[in-house]
Amino acid sequence: MTVALCPGSFDPPTNGHVDIVERSAVVFDRVVVAVVANPSKEPLFTADERVRLLAASLTHLGNVEVAAFEGLLVDFAESRGVDVIVKGLRAVSDFDYELQMAQMNRTLRGVETLFMPTNPEWSYLSSSLVREVARLGGRIDELVPPPVAEALKERLK
Ligand code: PNS
């Protein structure tokens, strides 16, 4: 059985994140979505909230679980018996940092990372842009899953 790990800040989860998890769930037997508890910037949603929002957005997938983690991603990956980390790539601009992280994680623990090209429908989408648009009163309903749209409106009203 192959287990994939889809890690991220997910502040908030977007349709782009959901697309990567959905496609990973087709390629691999099981997918663990790993929410970093303490991202570099103060998050809009707590780790528990981000886990709940993701879980509510992924109920249609039977082989996916969502969990928060603290510390090194490779430690969490090892504790969950993960075979491969999957990261979405939106554009060349994502590549430098993602390559660095992939090589660091492989150096630390030998874990491989596979890059999945983002669906072009969502290639312009990022959590930070969604936060900004929502904050300024723009429409985000087509950019994030319904539970996330609802939570954003509630948080920013
Ligand atoms: O949503 P993001 O910002 O692309 O997610 C980045 C994330 C959470 C995957 C990365 O910051 C991470 O793995 N953090 C955990 C700490 C860690 O392992 N750092 C070393 C990475 S090489």
Nearest-angstrom CA–CA distance, 64 and 31? 5
For residue 62, the SS3 value is coil
pLDDT grade for 40, boundaries at 50, 70 and 90: confident
Confidence of residue 39 (pLDDT cuts 50, 70, 90): confident
The mean predicted confidence, pLDDT, of the chain is 97
Q: Is the CB of 43 under 6 A from ligand 1?
A: no
Using 50, 70 and 90 to split pLDDT, how confident is the model at 41?
Answer: confident
Provide the pLDDT confidence category of residue 157 given band limits of 50, 70 and 90.
Answer: confident
**Is the shortest distance between the CB of 105 and ligand 1 below 6 Å?**
yes
Active-site residues, by number, are: 17, 41, 90, 127
How confident is residue 52, by pLDDT bands cut at 50, 70 and 90?
very high
Position 77 pLDDT exceeds 90: yes
Please tell me the pTM assigned to this model. Answer: 0.97
Domains of the chain: 3-155 (3.40.50.620)
Long-range contacts of 129-138 (CB under 8 A, 24+ apart): 130/12, 130/14, 131/11, 131/12, 131/44
Query: Which among 34, 24, 3 is positioned nearest to 118, based on CA atoms?
Result: 24
pLDDT tens-digit profile of 117-127?
A: 999 999 999 99
Average pLDDT over residues 14-27: 98
Amino acid (1-letter code) at residue 9: S
Ligand 1 mean position to 138 CA, how many Å? 29
- Specify the residue with its C-alpha closest to ligand 1, atom 10: 8
Mutation test residue for ligand 1: of 17, 33, 51, 73, the one with most atoms within 8 Å of CB = 73
The residue whose CA is least distant from atom 14 of ligand 1 is 73
pLDDT bucket at 152, cuts 50 / 70 / 90 = very high
